[in-house]
Structure 1
Amino acid sequence: MTRKYFGTDGIRGRANTGVMTAGFMVNLASAVGTYFNANAETRRVVIGKDTRRSCYMLENALTAGFTATGMDVFALGPLPTPAVGLLTHSMRADLGVMISASHNPFHDNGIKFFGPEGYKLSDHIEREIEVLLDSGAFNIDPDYIGRVARLNDSVARYVEYAKTTVPGRIRLNGLKVVLDCANGAAYKAAPEVLWELGAEVITLGVSPNGYNINRDCGSTQPQAAARMVRETGADVAICLDGDADRIIMLDETGAIIDGDQIMALLATRWAQAGRLRKNTLVATAMSNLGLETYLAGQGITLKRTDIGDRYVVQEMRDHGYNLGGEQSGHIVMTDHATTGDGLVAGLQVLAMLKESGDKASRLTRVFEPVPQILENVRYTPGQAPLDSAAVQAAIADGRARLGDSGRLLIRKSGTESLIRVMGEAHDETLLREIVTRICDVIRDA
């Protein structure tokens, strides 16, 4: 059954239009509050946000809807998504909410929900909430309207927890780290964690103004961080996205270390230490074929899921795995967090750098990736270019030309009006020709 409002990572859209209006948020919170009030004992919800201007509007609207259904609201302020998952569980809340559109520009926003254990809601629960939302949730008697409080130490709680995840409590003294917080949710917490652990920290993207989140910075645009690495002679860079649930790193030359390389490094080291449960890494269909080949050579199984970190987490929970993620930088370590945590993942790599004394370029170049091309084609909402006969024919032709020597993955984004065209093949010239052709046909459609 297709969900009406929820996508691959909560609800997302352009701020102050469609589902991202104050009116819709009041109704959404009322529906969610009604659902969780049915069997709740504490009836409390924690709400975190990133640094977008529209977060103020959406936070207040959600608060109104939740209190109208009897839930007590704890406002956490700007805080990374993984911290919201952490505090949902540690504060014994029935529900956690993160207001963020992750790596999207400031004019977008989104809502992510966490259940009592700090994990994102299942597809089944989201569908039940949608039924309530469309049928009209009911407010409660005035005697039971909820209260609102602001939790002033939310950042400090997360900072202290993040420091405990460093293996062997290793200190980072002597490491020079460029840290790009994307003018987003981690702009306070991440620099504090690295500095308190002893690193020399050079910060970028720590001056949010409501509009500059992810603008020319962060995990999707690491060029400024790369320049800073080269100019300062830094050992490594950590680039987070707007809500800090994903990470891209840079070595000492400014070269990108993507999520696949980070997962390969962690999986290898954890397997050697006997920490990798069932000797298995969970990743999505986007992860490079080179990763799969490398892991097989190490005796490590790669399990693939649908695209989206929530599906990675669900596979991990269902089968007891403790390491997974996405090439885009969501690194999920269920020993430490309930969702992707860019900062905590970065700390694991920094600890290995410190312990090994090696350069990042050597430590993190774990496998040789198969040439991969990813192109995005924007389309107007409401259109269905993938249904076009011409597009389907171009895709079929591309797959036939690649044969068994590569693969194509074409899909609609679950968070933006984009068609994502990904291809892999050892023959990069042929691959580029095929991907370009498919993208051109999609644009025409």
Structure 2
Amino acid sequence: MRRLFGTDGVRGLANGELLTPELAVAVSASAARVLAAHRGAASRPVAVVGRDPRASGEMLEAAVLAGLTSAGADAVRVGVIPTPGVAHLVAELGADLGVMISASHNAMPDNGIKIFAAGGHKLPDAIELEIEQAIDAGPARHRPTGAAIGRVRDQTDAVDRYVAHLLTSTPRTLAGVRVVVDCAHGAAAEAAPAAYAKAGAQVVAIHASPDGLNINDGVGSTHLGPLQEAVVAHGADLGIAHDGDADRCLAVDAAGHVVDGDKIMAVLALAMKDAGTLVDDVLVTTVMSNLGLHIAMREAGIGLRVTGVGDRYVLEELRAGGFSLGGEQSGHIVLPDHATTGDGLLTALRLMARMAETGSSLAELAGIVTTLPQVLINVSVGDKATVAASAAVASAVAEAEAELGDTGRVLLRPSGTEQLVRVMVEAPTAEIAQRTATHLAEIVASA
């Protein structure tokens, strides 16, 4: 059973009990050995290493580089760059693995380590388990010395390469589109404004001055208020909000209304269906997607494949079925023809391209989905496993589901990165959804 890797790598308080420099050395060294063994490469493995701008990333980057080179891997340091930029560069440079140091949307004190395999793909559970077992076994007995120790080089044009890739994936000009982009003082601060401007959009960048401490601090995709105000103030056509590592995006229409991942997926699915590029007319999404998306896609002749929560599971379904679009309500959206992981910048470019193509406003395009009232409550718990095994919780959920019938649904799921249980309820009215979710949250909290 995995104990270090959650739904999106290893994450925790930087320099705290779990995410220490010592662990970063062990994770990166073990990953290099395990992935090199699976590839059977004759030459020394190569790893791409990137990070978001949070202060602890400097410390952890040094530890990751030490771990990789101690295992005989050469490291390509790409600096501050979005997570999908690291995934792309792993593929473009033919590297054996990639390491992204980021805690995504988490607050600044946290950080994390994400590992990509060759081609820029996320690791399957079995490989993560092998890496954990290698960590538990301790340092390798026979480590490289002399010329066999890995070397570090800097890829100074990494962001430029990534932006160029995004532009080739978005052939339509965005001339006439005015966008406000909230970079969350994160990894997108340089890449996002550059990509959108080079694609032809008029760009107003906000929260694009990272200082290592301000990432996600009241800004970005988890704090949409400042973006909503800025879109209206600047008279923009839309706003785009990224999280700290820019593997997701949410949007805001010209009136300041939020356009979530479900609505973005619906817009992109219709665009791809019209273009004949939506494979089998299927959209892959998770159990968190609103029933309104299911209804809209059914009426548009688009089928849904539903997975567990986490973009890794969306990716697995996309690859297994050869599908071309999938994602999450949270804004992690994957376009496998152009990216191996969720890419907030690519998603935003495609969304704006649909606006430019149709001449429609974002509100008009997103209006295809009528969202059922949904309430999500994050409940702090002492032990997620205890909640999962609670008979009282199971009984309360069954009662709520019986009351809602076909008019709504209930979903309880543990967080993959924190001691939280997420209680989600959809219902015909906001009042019913709130009442039901609050009741269930109380049961969960007392379990």
Structure 1 length as normaliser, TM-score? 0.96
**1:142 corresponds to which of 133, 145, 153:** 145
Contact 1:15–1:107 under 8 Å retained in 2? yes
* Distance of 1:358 and 1:389 partners within structure 2: 50
**1:326 corresponds to which of 319, 325, 328:** 328
The one-letter code matched in structure 2 to 1:296 is: R
Contact 1:411–1:420 under 8 Å retained in 2? yes
* Distance of 1:442 and 1:366 partners within structure 2: 35
SS in 1 for 2:410: strand
Is residue 34 from structure 1 mapped to residue 38 from structure 2 by the alignment?
Answer: no
Mark the CA change 1:382 to 1:287 in structure 2 (over 3 Å): closer, same or farther: closer
* Counterpart residue number, 1:46: 48
* Distance of 2:197 and 2:285 partners within structure 1: 31
* Counterpart residue number, 1:158: 162
* Counterpart residue number, 1:250: 252
* Counterpart residue number, 1:374: 376
* Distance of 2:204 and 2:144 partners within structure 1: 53
Structure 2 length as normaliser, TM-score? 0.96
Contact 1:182–1:206 under 8 Å retained in 2? yes
* Distance of 2:392 and 2:287 partners within structure 1: 25
Is residue 395 from structure 1 mapped to residue 397 from structure 2 by the alignment?
Answer: yes
**1:355 corresponds to which of 354, 357, 362:** 357
Which deviates further from its counterpart, 330-339 or 351-360?
351-360
* Counterpart residue number, 1:306: 308
* Distance of 1:412 and 1:53 partners within structure 2: 29
The one-letter code matched in structure 2 to 1:141 is: P
Is residue 13 from structure 1 mapped to residue 12 from structure 2 by the alignment?
Answer: yes
Compute the displacement of 1:371 (Å): 1.5
* Distance of 1:335 and 1:45 partners within structure 2: 23
The one-letter code matched in structure 1 to 2:27 is: L
Compute the displacement of 1:326 (Å): 0.2
Contact 1:31–1:136 under 8 Å retained in 2? no
Q: Which runs of 5+ in 1 are unaligned?
A: none
Mark the CA change 1:277 to 1:340 in structure 2 (over 3 Å): closer, same or farther: same
**2:63 corresponds to which of 49, 61, 64:** 61
Contact 2:271–2:354 under 8 Å retained in 1? no
* Counterpart residue number, 1:83: 85
Contact 2:268–2:354 under 8 Å retained in 1? no
**2:185 corresponds to which of 174, 183, 186:** 183
Compute the displacement of 1:398 (Å): 1.7
The one-letter code matched in structure 1 to 2:283 is: L
Q: What do the CA deviations read for 1:312-370 (whole angstroms, capped 9, x no partner)?
A: 01110111001000000011001110001111111111111122222221122221112
Percent of paired sites with the same residue = 45
The one-letter code matched in structure 2 to 1:155 is: V
* Distance of 2:339 and 2:385 partners within structure 1: 38
Mark the CA change 1:382 to 1:442 in structure 2 (over 3 Å): closer, same or farther: closer
The one-letter code matched in structure 1 to 2:19 is: M
Q: CA RMSD in A?
A: 1.5
**2:421 corresponds to which of 413, 419, 422:** 419
Compute the displacement of 1:441 (Å): 2.2
* Distance of 2:139 and 2:269 partners within structure 1: 45
SS in 2 for 1:36: helix
SS in 1 for 2:78: strand
* Distance of 1:432 and 1:62 partners within structure 2: 44
* Distance of 2:317 and 2:50 partners within structure 1: 26
* Counterpart residue number, 1:338: 340
Which deviates further from its counterpart, 173-182 or 244-253?
173-182
Q: What do the CA deviations read for 1:268-310 (whole angstroms, capped 9, x no partner)?
A: 1211221101111000000111111111122211000010001
Compute the displacement of 1:128 (Å): 1.0
Q: What do the CA deviations read for 1:244-264 (whole angstroms, capped 9, x no partner)?
A: 000100000010011111111
* Distance of 2:354 and 2:5 partners within structure 1: 38
* Distance of 2:44 and 2:296 partners within structure 1: 48
Q: What do the CA deviations read for 1:62-85 (whole angstroms, capped 9, x no partner)?
A: 111111110001111010111111
Q: Which runs of 5+ in 2 are unaligned?
A: none
The one-letter code matched in structure 2 to 1:159 is: V
Contact 2:44–2:72 under 8 Å retained in 1? no
Compute the displacement of 1:420 (Å): 0.4
* Counterpart residue number, 1:278: 280
Alignment of structure 1 residues 143-292 onto 2, 5 Å? 143=146, 144-166=148-170, 169-292=171-294
Q: What do the CA deviations read for 1:140-195 (whole angstroms, capped 9, x no partner)?
A: 231311001111110110111111111xx222222211010111111001111112
Contact 2:384–2:414 under 8 Å retained in 1? no
Contact 1:246–1:331 under 8 Å retained in 2? yes
Compute the displacement of 1:438 (Å): 1.0
**2:127 corresponds to which of 119, 125, 129:** 125
Compute the displacement of 1:42 (Å): 4.4
Which deviates further from its counterpart, 177-186 or 132-141?
132-141
